[in-house]
Amino acid sequence: MKICNLHDDIGTDIYEHRYDDPQRLDNYHYPKMKAGEIKMTALVCCFTGQQTYKEMQAQVLYLEQQIEQSLYFSYDNSKDIQCFIALEGLCGIQSDVTRKIQWLYQHHVRLAALCWNDDNALACGAKAGNKPLTDLGKECIIAMNDINMAIDVSHCCEWNFYDIARISNKPIVATHSNVKGLFNHYRHLSDPCLEVLYSQNGLIGAIPVRWFVTRDETKQTLDEFINIIDYLKNKVGIRHIALGFDFMDYIDDAPCMVEGLESIANAQNVVKKLYDRGYSENEVKAICFDNAYHYILPYLKY
Ligand SMILES: [Zn+2]
């Protein structure tokens, strides 16, 4: 079954390997995605708080060039995998917010989170405490709405979440987050946040990274991950659930994902497990592809 993946730091990965593995997108990432039946993916550049705007631009330009040269990835549906550029963190933007968002959009960025775990000029990551969104952050949300760039709330703190949800005139997405109702982790969404996401027709991409599923290392399994999807189904309904894998096997040798999901090549194991757990074909399709596809499609005009 085809899958849409809302989060994987592949933009940063291929940039870091630009000298030792310049064909990495097509030669390393594509075969694994093909095996996992990925048909749409975010290619994410992750900016953790230290990067300047110039460094952000260099990474985006490199990714853009790699996509344009790719045999398999395209922004439209003309090659095997449809992709879009997404940014995790905008720490390099400290002035001229609107102009810089316009530049990023011109270079095919279609989704962005204002911060990673850092506290920057726009927003504050959930790991860094709780603060209101800054004035520059508000300007950023308005600029993103105006130019039609989707807004990711996966890493921001809860106060920022409510500010962004209130200011944005378009539905927001948490591309890779789980739920505080099952595991009270700073990165996860509380029930009131889920309520807001639901009421604004937003989307949540559940994340099967071990340490975001449960603290109990003996229970970091696909079954436990599906419990999160069950929880979301009860709270917000099937139409608001997607997948944001955030694989790290290509960054680190240590196992990062729940058992049975070693790399994106095994992504169909999620499909199998959803069927095992009684989800209907339409529900599995909605979670694995349709919901994310329909969410992101209005942003993908080129
Ligand atoms: Zn992340």
Query: Which tens digits make up the pLDDT trace of 169-212?
Result: 999 999 999 999 999 999 999 999 999 999 999 999 999 999 99
> What residues are paired with 221 via a beta bridge?
259
pLDDT beyond 90 at 7: yes
Closest CA to 107 of 47, 63, 54: 63
Q: Mind listing the pLDDT tens digit for each residue in 269-291?
A: 999 999 999 999 999 999 999 99
- Distance of CA 179 from the midpoint of ligand 1 (Å): 15
For ligand 1, the distance from its centroid to the CA atom of residue 207, given in whole angstroms, is: 10
| Ligand 1 centroid from CA 83, angstroms | 18
Cα–Cα distance between 141 and 163 in angstroms, integer? 10
Stretch 124-146: mean pLDDT: 97
Q: Residue 82: is it exposed, middle or buried by C-beta count within 10 angstroms (0-12/13-18/19+)?
A: buried
CA 294 to chain centre: 15
Q: Yes or no: say if 239 and 202 are a contact pair by the CB < 8 Å rule.
A: no
Give the Cα separation of 150 and 24 in Å (integer). Answer: 27
**Mean per-residue pLDDT, 115-130:** 96
Tell me: pLDDT of 3 over 90.
yes
Cα of 27 from ligand 1 centre, angstroms:
24
Count the domains in the chain.
Answer: 1
Evaluate if residue 253 carries a pLDDT over 80: no
Rounded CA separation 110/300 (Å): 7
pLDDT tens-digit map of 29-60: 999 999 999 999 999 999 999 999 999 999 99
- Residue 114, pLDDT score: 98
pLDDT at 89 > cutoff 90 = yes
- Report the pLDDT value the prediction gives residue 97, as an integer from 0 to 100: 98
Asked whether the predicted pLDDT for residue 96 surpasses 80, the reply is yes
Q: Grade residue 255 by pLDDT with cuts at 50, 70 and 90.
A: confident
Q: How far is the CA of 62 from the centre of ligand 1 (A)?
A: 21
Q: What is the pLDDT of residue 254?
A: 81
Report the separation in Å between the CA atom of 103 and the middle of ligand 1, taken as the mean of its atom positions: 23
> Would you state the pLDDT for residue 42?
98
Nearest-CA neighbor of 264 among 250, 276, 253?
250
Distance 91 CA to ligand 1 centre (A): 14
Q: Which long-range contacts (CB under 8 A, 24 or more apart) does 121-124 make?
A: 121/91, 121/93, 121/94, 122/90, 122/93, 122/97, 123/90, 123/156, 123/157, 123/160, 123/164, 124/156, 124/157, 124/159, 124/160
Cα 112 to averaged position of ligand 1 atoms, centre (Å): 11
Give whole-number Cα distances, 157 to 140, 153, 161, 188, 225, in Å: 16, 8, 6, 10, 23
State in Å: Cα 100 to ligand 1 middle: 22
Strands (E), the chain: 3-5, 38-46, 73-74, 81-88, 109-113, 150-152, 173-174, 203-206, 241-243
pLDDT score recorded for residue 302: 73
Q: Which pLDDT score, from 0 to 100, does residue 301 have?
A: 82
**Distance in angstroms (rounded) separating the CA atoms of residues 205 and 175:** 5
Say which residues have a Cβ less than 8 Å from residue 157's Cβ, sequence separation at least 6: 123, 124, 125, 126, 128, 129, 130, 131
Q: Can you give the residue range of the structural domain that contains 225?
A: 3-299
C-alpha 54 – ligand 1 centre gap (Å): 21
Percent of the chain with pLDDT over 70: 100
Mean of all residue pLDDT scores within the chain: 97
Main-chain phi, psi angles of 88, to 5 degrees: -110, 95
Q: Residue 225: which of 274, 185, 188 has the closest Cα? A: 274
